[in-house]
Amino acid sequence: MTQEQELSRPPERQALFRGMLQVALSSFGGGMSAWSQRIVVEQRRWMSNESFITGLTVARLFPGPNQINMAVYIGAQFQRLAGAIAAVSGILLVPFSLLMLIGVIYFQFHAIPAVDRVLTGVVAAAAGMALSMGFKILNVYWRDPLALLLAAVTFVALEVFHVHLIAVVLSIGPVAMLLYWPRGAQRG
């Protein structure tokens, strides 16, 4: 690892917008948090790697897309609410417009057999990506029987008993929090 480099000046709103736009456009085909780290920590030196990792943890914890939440965290660090808005706009506006354009083209032309054949292959690959998401974080919980049990109960409730997702989160979530409540901690 390189030495901890000196940080640059806190970015203004425009710089936040441009930086997050660069992150979004670099992440063709995924790997956005890796790009975010490369650009925010290594290239522009806005924050240390340590505070970046903290931000990533908070972003993953709270509901919402990780990458959007991370943009909120980065923006809010430097320019409070205005910074968060600038950063989220940067990461979202251009990619979303592009995707809407792709969507319009799709709904106009997907009935063409050649387009449909290509998509069939792409879809099978994308399904493999979806399948890998659970396996990717499985190793974190591998040695924790309680976590595996909670995951199994969640899975069975959704897949076998077809319980609604919101009901599952609202019932198993609090139980899981109680079971993981730090021992000996005072309330409040």
Partner 1 sequence: MVDPTSGLATLLQVIVTFLRLSLFSLGGGNTLLAEYHHLAVDKYHWITNTQFADLYALAEAAPGPSSMIVGLLGLGAGWHHGPMWGLISGFSAEVAILLPSTVVMVMAALSWNKLKDEPVRVAFEKGLGPVTLGILFSVGLTVLRTADHHWLAYLVSVLVCALMLFTRISPLYFMLVAGVLGGLGIIQR
Residues 126-165 that bind partner 1 (CB under 8 A): 126-138, 140-141, 144, 146-155, 157-159, 165
Q: Is 122 in the site for partner 1 (CB under 8 A)?
A: yes
Q: Which is nearer to partner 1, 1 or 114 (CB)?
A: 114
- Candidates 24, 40, 47, 86; binder of partner 1 (CB under 8 A) is 24
**Token digits of residue 183:** 């021992």
- Smallest gap from Cβ 3 to partner 1, in A, equals 25
Q: Is 98 in the site for partner 1 (CB under 8 A)?
A: yes
- Smallest gap from Cβ 155 to partner 1, in A, equals 4
Strands (E), the chain: none
Query: How many residues in the chain?
Result: 188
- Report how far residue 28's alpha carbon sits from residue 24's, in angstroms, rounded to the nearest whole number: 8
- Candidates 27, 38, 39, 44; binder of partner 1 (CB under 8 A) is 27
- Candidates 25, 42, 45, 112; binder of partner 1 (CB under 8 A) is 25
Q: Is 31 in the site for partner 1 (CB under 8 A)?
A: yes
Q: Which is nearer to partner 1, 5 or 104 (CB)?
A: 104
- Candidates 1, 107, 143, 161; binder of partner 1 (CB under 8 A) is 107
Q: Which amino acid is at 26?
A: S
- Report how far residue 71's alpha carbon sits from residue 92's, in angstroms, rounded to the nearest whole number: 10
- Candidates 2, 4, 30, 161; binder of partner 1 (CB under 8 A) is 30
Count of alpha carbons within 13 angstroms of residue 51, beta-carbon side: 14
Burial per residue of 148-182, b for 16 or more beta-carbon CB atoms within 10 angstroms, e otherwise: eebbeebeebeeeeeeeeeebeeebeeebeeeeee
Identify whether the C-beta of residue 4 lies closer than 8 Å to the C-beta of residue 12.
no
Q: How many residues sit close enough to partner 1 to count as binding (CB under 8 A)?
A: 100
Within 39-68, the residues that bind partner 1 by CB under 8 A are 55, 57-68
Within 4-23, the residues that bind partner 1 by CB under 8 A are none
- Report how far residue 164's alpha carbon sits from residue 159's, in angstroms, rounded to the nearest whole number: 10
